[in-house]
Amino acid sequence: MGTDADPSIAPWQKGWYALAQAQPSPNFGPRPPGSQIDLVVVHSISLPPGAYGGPEVGQLFCNQLDWDAHPYFQSIRGLQVSAHFFIRRDGSLLQFVSCDDRAWHAGTSSYRGRDNCNDDSIGVEMEGLEGDTFTTAQYQAFAELLRAMAGPYRLAYVAGHEHIAPGRKMDPGPGFQWQALAPCMAALDLEGPAGIKK
Nearest to 183 by CA among 149, 130, 147: 147
CA dist 186 and 192 (Å) reads 10
Instruction: For residue 56, give the 3-state DSSP assignment.
Output: helix
- Contact status, residue 135 vs residue 126, Cβ threshold 8 Å: no
Give CA torsion, residues 139, 169, 32, 141, to 10 deg. 10
Report the candidate in 100, 103, 85, 77 with the shortest Cα–Cα distance to residue 146: 85
Neighbouring C-alpha atoms within 13 Å toward the C-beta of 9: 16
Task: Give the integer Cα–Cα distance in Å for 178 and 90.
Answer: 19
Confirm whether 144 is a catalytic residue. no
Catalytic-labelled residue, pool 125, 127, 130, 162: 125
Question: Which residues 6+ apart lie within 8 Å of 179 measured at CB?
Answer: none
Q: List residues with catalytic annotation.
A: 125
